[in-house]
Amino acid sequence: MKINRVFNNPRHSSHRLVLFNHKGGVGKTTLTVNIASALAKKGKRVLLVDADPQCNLTSYLVEAAVVGKWLDNSDSDSGVTIWSAIKPIAESKGEVREVNPIERLAKIFLIPGDIRLSEFEQDLQQIWTECLQRKVRGYRGVSAISETVNIVAKKIKADFVFYDVGPNIGPLNRVVLLDCDYFIVPAACDLFSTIALSTLGHSLASWIKDWQVISQLAPDNTHLLPGKPIFMGYILQKFRMYGGKISGGFAPYVAKLEKAANSDIATILRRIDNNLAQSSISHNKLGQVKDFGSLAIIAQEEGRPFAMASGGSAYLKEEAEKEFNKIADRIIERTMLALQVI
């Protein structure tokens, strides 16, 4: 059966990515902010989308009092949160509403998160079922966040879009992942991160295969999610260094994570489509970010990337900037390479 891919709202050309790991405490939000900053310094315009009902990214970048006002006002026509945008779709009262992103840092824009996304997530399970029943409401609900992002990305001429998501494999993260062109896995050097990768790959594979079926059932002129997130690689982090090398307590997990990223993510996705992951094991590692200790705390308190923190060691800030620059360069390189292949 031919897959209908007619979009009501043509997808903007920006690259959509998410740092995803359903294990908590792996620094997704912190990494997202620092990678976005590195990309912005290279002249790229970045849209950050807080798709986590806990609003960690919004809380990182914006003062608590301001966030509180946004949440109190999110139901109104002047609301600026992600819920403000998708509310008409969630309540079956109209189309997504355009919201104005907040330029928090130079070339870095934010669509703020909203606790009301937790209610929408509860509805998404039924909305997903309605897609299988070929109901238009189902497809509109599944694509609501995607359409919102498309409108804003086009408006600000974004080069990159980064979603920030919670640590779970629920229905909200499913629609976000299926809207992404790429995903990156942040992994700490510990046993639990290694174990988490084994279930992450299977969950993603299941979502992709289910969406292939749903896409085939889609009525004409339906906005469809791309449904093919490519594994860009993993970022090793939360380790300590000694004598220029990863210290002994963390070192054993480096090889384990590399093996798990290949066998439990890349290999599984390649069974669906060879283009969803690289065949080279060494290519899977996108970068490594050590434990920056007090510098990370200072930066989070100030709502800034590490390199822009007002305090902390100048040496550590320089190290952080170098590492995130490397990661940003690899992201640019791999997205451009994918375009050449297409």
Shortest CA distance to 332 belongs to which of 12, 17, 32?
A: 17
Cα–Cα distances in Å, from 114 out to 53, 216, 244?
Answer: 6, 32, 42
Residue whose token pair is 């059966």: 1
pTM for the whole structure: 0.93
Helix, strand, or coil here: 45? Answer: coil
Task: Report the 10 Å Cβ neighbour count for 195.
Answer: 14
Give the pLDDT score at 5. 42
Give the pLDDT score at 12. 77
Give the pLDDT score at 339. 59
Q: Which amino acid is at 245?
A: K
Please say whether the beta carbons of 11 and 153 come within 8 A. no
Give the pLDDT score at 291. 86
**What is the pLDDT tens value at each position of the chain, 342 positions in all?**
233 444 445 677 899 999 998 777 768 899 999 999 999 999 999 999 999 999 999 999 999 999 999 999 999 988 999 999 999 999 999 999 999 999 999 999 999 999 999 999 999 999 999 999 999 999 999 999 999 999 999 999 999 999 999 999 999 999 999 999 999 999 887 877 778 888 899 999 999 999 999 999 998 888 899 999 999 999 988 777 666 677 777 777 788 888 889 999 999 999 999 999 987 777 899 999 988 889 999 999 999 999 999 988 899 999 999 999 999 999 999 998 765 554
Cα separation, 180 vs 149, in Å, equals 11
End-to-end Cα, the chain, rounded Å: 23
Please say whether the beta carbons of 28 and 186 come within 8 A. yes
Q: Which stretch of DSSP H or E encloses residue 235?
A: strand 230-237
Cα separation, 51 vs 53, in Å, equals 6
Give the pLDDT score at 340. 56
124-144 residue pLDDT tens: 999 999 999 999 999 999 999
Burial class (CB in 10 A: 0-12, 13-18, 19+), 228: middle
Helix, strand, or coil here: 209? Answer: helix
Q: Which two tokens stand for residue 168?
A: 């779970």
Give the pLDDT score at 3. 37
Using alpha carbons only, give the angle 44, 48, 52 rounded to the nearest 5 degrees: 160
Please say whether the beta carbons of 191 and 257 come within 8 A. no
202-261 residue pLDDT tens: 999 999 999 999 999 998 888 899 999 999 999 988 777 666 677 777 777 788 888 889
